[in-house]
Amino acid sequence: MSAQSVSETQQSFVKGFISFIIIFVIVLALWHVFMDANGILKFYTPMLGFSLVAVWLGSILLISNIFELSPFREEKMSSSGGLGLGLILTALSIIFMLIIVYGIFWNFIGRFGVAYFSPASIVASGGTGAEPFVARENASTAIIYIVTAFIWWTLVWDLGFGAWPWLDTSKGVRAWSKFCSISVLTVLTYAILFHPHVCQLFYPPQDKAGVSPWWAEFAGTGSAFLSLGLALCSLKWVVISDLLWDGYPWKWLGKRGQGNFIRGLVTLVGCLILGIISMVVLLKIMNIYWMEPFEGGQYTDAPYFRYLHAGEISGFIVLAAFILKTYFNNFPNLSVLGSSALIRTVIAFLGGGLFYAFYYSNLSVMLLGKVPGVAQPDDTPLVWTMLFLSVIIVHAQFFGGWPLKRSKS
Amino acid sequence: MERRNFLKSLAAAGMVASVASPSGLLSREAHAAGKVNIGEVKNVKVDVLTETSWFDNDILKKNMMDYGGAMTSQYAIPWDPKNAGGYAALITVTELDGKERKILLDSGWSNEWMDYIFQDKSNVASMLKSGEIEFMVLSHWHLDHYWGIESTLKHKPDITMYAPKTFYPEDMALLKEKGRLTAKDKSGEEVLLCKNDVPHTGKLILCGPEGEEGSGVHKLMPGVALRMFDVPILLRVRGENVLYFNVKDKGIVTVTGCCHPGILSLFSFARSNFEGYKPYGCYGGLHVSLFETWDPKFDDLIKGVKSFQIAKMGCNHCTGWIFAEKADAAGIPIVKGTDKFKTYTRYSTVNKGNNVFLTNGDSIVF
């Protein structure tokens, strides 16, 4: 490596580090304005804030991954910088978020189709517990679950199927086709993994609309936190293999790096298996730390908390992977990809550990307005993690890293 | 504790072997630790002084919704004072020699309501004055258990008090400094939340999960122990004191304010830490469907309670009527209340009159 390239790399790391610090501060500021219980808007009720952040992340992925920044892509590639485009796309993602939550779910699907997506429809249905606060929390829970399925499928599709089967079509056809396919799979996944939980949120349970949670016997809980945790554990491997392993090993199954059906299927199953294995490992570690959970236990004794917490830990690792990729040039970049991938993965896990330590430290009590302790039923680090991820993706994809663009190593 | 730390250090090494075991996702092995002998009592009686912490669920939830939800500080919400009631219980312990000793659990929320409860609907005021009530246990620092503290202290300012050590400055200002705490409503007007003109002058024992001499519990009298569970709770509160009674020939009874840690977690603690553990019963708010809503995890709880084989469950307050009804229907031994609550000036809007709650004026004996 020449002295010039070493210098460029160092400069790039410095720029990346500065960008990361600025983004971290922006996330704290956003948290204070929108979420913090001691802040201004206090959306973290918790489910309302959770749903807004989840839908915002979904909207960002819709723009960046499904529609590939269309019709703004050419402008993004220009050398004029990312501020203008960044502002437009960010505004667009926020508009999408508002339309999806307040328009599509609360006032369209919820009013004319599935009542539990709309607080107003839940309240209008009457009965025990159907008042505005709980109704809003329950509608938000349903939205969180369906958006989780959407995010999961979007990332899996991108990594595995890629542009298949629309390789030779226009970008518009590809985007709309992908969107429709992912939406169908999202609805199917939601119906099987999450809808049974949502149907039990009411009294009496809506057992004509949804079966009792079919996983309750073997999981030790009827909560869909099992599915949520598994989805996030699996997503962790999607992100790791996409960002830190440069798409391998799945890439080996496609010609010229392009996706196909087999590659998609193997990616899907492979990431699910890896997700299950890592979830079991995390559960075993939690068993050693907190002892065995048991059916009916609460807080750290609750099986549903353990599943959710496996997902929350995965969320921290995903966050660290995105930061490594976005701000630190996916360090290291060795000549052998396997070695780089291994070291990057270790860094992501360690970084996830640092975020875990931060979130449950007294520092976050001060900065995020939390109550000290783990397993508070009204708190999940996923909201902060998703907000952080959203801002990183916005910065990287919409603003092109503006203002401190880094040279490629 | 040492064993737990040792296990933590072995976590990474044991992980691989553990994963390879055929025990499935959630195995059921128990973890026994060093056990404590808390002694025995002959019996314990709980009089429900008041379990109606608030009278209208919808108003309480609207107050929360309007000012930020479950994570907001309880001192930042201008609660509707007309909706305030309170939670308190009188516990009478009969020792093995037949001697009776009394404990006050919590002091409610509204001073007006608590004065009515302590003076008009019970003899608590006179028992405090005479010293018949030996001490007060504050379960946790939530408004409906604590903000009515003046109603206790006006009769006995030097009462010995056990409280969780996880207090905030506002909590201590109310207890010790003639606090008058207010919050701003949406129009910017200051609303009085709580006040106390009678500072506490007695012994204040702040309890942590380490307990006395690292035993994990505070032994209050033979057969009676207090355990502080350091758990985060809604409205920015943290930590709850739980009372354990070991009733001779029957077993362990828990008495709680809200039971935020979870009733089965309390019994799980007893199983791991008390000599001669045998589950028997529980009384108190059980913090399940407090907002009269449901969740699959509440079904888990019903199944779990059945597997723990608790013989007597007396519940009220934040347990939720729905949970009590479903638990009763599922065969859990819910101890039924009476219609005495109708003799009180107010009662809860969610009271369905089917007596699955032990309500104001009821008693339970273990």
Contacts of A222 in chain B (CB under 8 A): 296-297, 299-300
Contact A316, A360 (CB under 8 A): no
Contacts of A214 in chain B (CB under 8 A): none
Which of B142, B236, B295 should we substitute to test contact with A (largest number of A Cβ atoms within 10 Å)? Answer: B295
Yes or no, beta carbons of B15 and A197 under 8 Å apart: no
Contact B181, B75 (CB under 8 A): yes
Smallest Cβ distance to A42: which of B72, B234, B295?
Answer: B72
Which of A284, A308, A370 should we substitute to test contact with B (largest number of B Cβ atoms within 10 Å)? Answer: A284
Contacts of A377 in chain B (CB under 8 A): 234
Contact A274, B238 (CB under 8 A): no
pLDDT for A342 equals 98
Smallest Cβ distance to B264: which of A285, A294, A304?
Answer: A294
Strand partners for B182: B192
Residue linked to tokens 């469950």: B313
Yes or no, beta carbons of A132 and B61 under 8 Å apart: yes
Distance CA A21, CA A26 (A): 9
Strand partners for B43: B94
Q: Look up residue A209 and give its two tokens.
A: 């609309």
Smallest Cβ distance to B15: which of A281, A301, A378?
Answer: A281
Q: Report yes or no on B31 lying in a domain.
A: no
Q: Report yes or no on B8 lying in a domain.
A: no
Instruction: Answer positive or negative: Cα dihedral of B206, B212, B215, B217.
Output: negative
Smallest Cβ distance to B262: which of A38, A299, A372?
Answer: A299
Q: Please list the helix, strand and coil fractions of chain B in percent, rounded to the nearest 5, in that order.
A: 30, 25, 45
Contacting B residues, span 147-166, partner chain A, CB-CB under 8 Å = none
Q: Are strands B190-195 and B100-105 parallel, antiparallel or unpaired?
A: unpaired
Closest Cα in chain A to B307: A295
Contacting B residues, span 257-276, partner chain A, CB-CB under 8 Å = 260-265, 268, 272
Strand, coil or helix: A382: helix
Looking at B227-332, list the stretches that DSSP marks H as alpha helix, in order from N- to C-terminal side.
263-273, 296-308, 321-329
Contact B256, B285 (CB under 8 A): yes
Q: Report yes or no on B358 lying in a domain.
A: yes
Smallest Cβ distance to A288: which of B7, B68, B291?
Answer: B7
Q: Are strands B279-285 and B251-256 parallel, antiparallel or unpaired?
A: parallel
DSSP secondary structure code for residue B235 in this structure:
T
Q: Report yes or no on B10 lying in a domain.
A: no
Q: Report yes or no on B43 lying in a domain.
A: yes
Contact B301, B266 (CB under 8 A): no
Provide the shortest C-alpha distance from residue B24 to chain A (in Å).
9
Contacting B residues, span 6-45, partner chain A, CB-CB under 8 Å = 7-8, 10-12, 14-15, 18-19, 24-31
Q: B347 touching A, CB under 8 A?
A: no
The answer, yes or no, to whether ipTM is higher than 0.90 is no
**Tens-digit pLDDT profile for chain B (366 aa)?**
343 443 444 344 333 333 333 333 433 333 345 799 999 999 999 999 999 999 999 999 999 999 998 889 999 999 999 999 999 999 999 999 999 999 999 999 999 999 999 999 999 999 999 999 999 999 999 999 999 999 999 999 999 999 999 999 999 999 999 999 999 999 999 999 999 999 999 999 999 999 999 999 999 999 999 999 999 999 999 999 999 999 999 999 999 999 999 999 999 999 999 999 999 999 999 999 998 889 999 999 999 999 888 999 999 999 999 999 999 999 999 999 999 999 999 999 888 888 999 999 999 999
Provide the shortest C-alpha distance from residue B232 to chain A (in Å).
5
Q: Which of B361, B365, B342, B322 is nearest to B88 (CA)?
A: B361
Which of A288, A304, A307 should we substitute to test contact with B (largest number of B Cβ atoms within 10 Å)? Answer: A288
In angstroms, the first-to-last Cα distance of chain B is: 31
Contacts of B10 in chain A (CB under 8 A): 288
Angle between helices A47-61 and A381-393 (to 10 degrees): 30
Smallest Cβ distance to A371: which of B11, B238, B263?
Answer: B238
Q: Which of B104, B67, B75, B53 is nearest to B173 (CA)?
A: B75
Indicate the residue type of A283: L
DSSP assignments along A133-182, one per residue: HHHHHHHHHHHHHHHHHHHHHHHHIIIIITTTT-TTS-HHHHHHHHHHHH
Contact A56, A97 (CB under 8 A): yes
Q: Which residues of B137-171 are buried (b: 16+ CB within 10 A; e: fewer)?
A: bbbbbbbbbbbbbbbbbbbbeebebbbbbbbeebb
Q: Look up residue A333 and give its two tokens.
A: 């970049």
Cβ within 8 Å of residue A287, ≥6 positions away:
A293, B18, B27
Yes or no, beta carbons of B232 and A371 under 8 Å apart: yes
Within 13 A of B250's CA, how many CA atoms are on the CB side?
21
Report in angstroms the alpha-carbon separations of A348 from A31, A357, B265: 23, 14, 34
Contacts of B18 in chain A (CB under 8 A): 284, 287-288
Strand, coil or helix: A8: helix
Which of A31, A198, A371, A383 should we substitute to test contact with B (largest number of B Cβ atoms within 10 Å)? Answer: A371
Which of A33, A287, A308 should we substitute to test contact with B (largest number of B Cβ atoms within 10 Å)? Answer: A287
Q: B65 touching A, CB under 8 A?
A: yes
CATH code at B95? 3.60.15.10
Yes or no, beta carbons of A128 and B305 under 8 Å apart: no
Smallest Cβ distance to B232: which of A221, A292, A379?
Answer: A379
Contacts of A230 in chain B (CB under 8 A): none
Q: What is the pTM of this model?
A: 0.91
Number of domains in chain B: 1
DSSP H or E run through B312:
strand B312-316
Provide the shortest C-alpha distance from residue B131 to chain A (in Å).
37
Q: Report yes or no on B23 lying in a domain.
A: no
CB atoms within 10 A of CB B119: 14
Distance CA A245, CA A334 (A): 12
Q: Look up residue B175 and give its two tokens.
A: 């207890």
pLDDT for A73 equals 66
Interface A:B, Cβ pairs < 8 A:
205
Provide the shortest C-alpha distance from residue B196 to chain A (in Å).
25
Yes or no, beta carbons of A371 and B233 under 8 Å apart: yes
Q: What angle do CA A46, A48, A50 make, to 5 degrees?
A: 65
Provide the shortest C-alpha distance from residue A393 to chain B (in Å).
28
Provide the shortest C-alpha distance from residue B212 to chain A (in Å).
22
Contact B194, B174 (CB under 8 A): yes
Q: Report yes or no on B72 lying in a domain.
A: yes
Distance CA B22, CA B4 (A): 23
DSSP secondary structure code for residue B125 in this structure:
H
pLDDT for B14 equals 39
**Tens-digit pLDDT profile for chain A (409 aa)?**
566 677 777 788 899 999 999 999 999 999 999 999 889 999 999 999 999 999 999 999 999 999 988 877 654 444 445 899 999 999 999 999 999 999 999 999 999 999 999 999 999 999 888 889 999 999 999 999 999 999 999 999 999 999 999 988 998 999 999 999 999 999 999 999 999 999 999 988 999 999 999 999 999 999 999 999 999 999 999 999 999 999 999 999 988 778 999 999 999 999 999 999 999 999 999 999 999 999 999 999 999 999 999 999 999 999 999 999 999 999 999 999 999 999 999 999 999 999 999 999 999 999 998 888 898 888 999 999 999 999 999 999 999 998 887 555 4
Provide the shortest C-alpha distance from residue A24 to chain B (in Å).
22
List the B279-285 sheet strands across, edge first: B218-221, B224-232, B238-247, B251-256, B279-285, B312-316
Distance CA A181, CA B26 (A): 36
Provide the shortest C-alpha distance from residue B249 to chain A (in Å).
26
Contacts 24+ apart (CB under 8 A), A203-209: A203/A127, A203/A128, A203/A129, A203/B289, A203/B292, A203/B293, A203/B294, A203/B322, A205/B294, A206/A116
Provide the shortest C-alpha distance from residue A378 to chain B (in Å).
7
Cβ within 8 Å of residue B90, ≥6 positions away:
B46, B47, B49, B102, B103, B104, B105, B122, B124, B127, B133
Q: B303 touching A, CB under 8 A?
A: yes
Overall size of chain B counted in residues: 366
Smallest Cβ distance to A45: which of B58, B69, B295?
Answer: B69
Instruction: Answer positive or negative: Cα dihedral of B31, B34, B40, B41.
Output: negative
Q: Which domain holds residue B271?
A: 38-365
Contacts of A128 in chain B (CB under 8 A): 292-293, 322
Instruction: Answer positive or negative: Cα dihedral of B142, B144, B146, B148.
Output: positive
Q: Report yes or no on B22 lying in a domain.
A: no
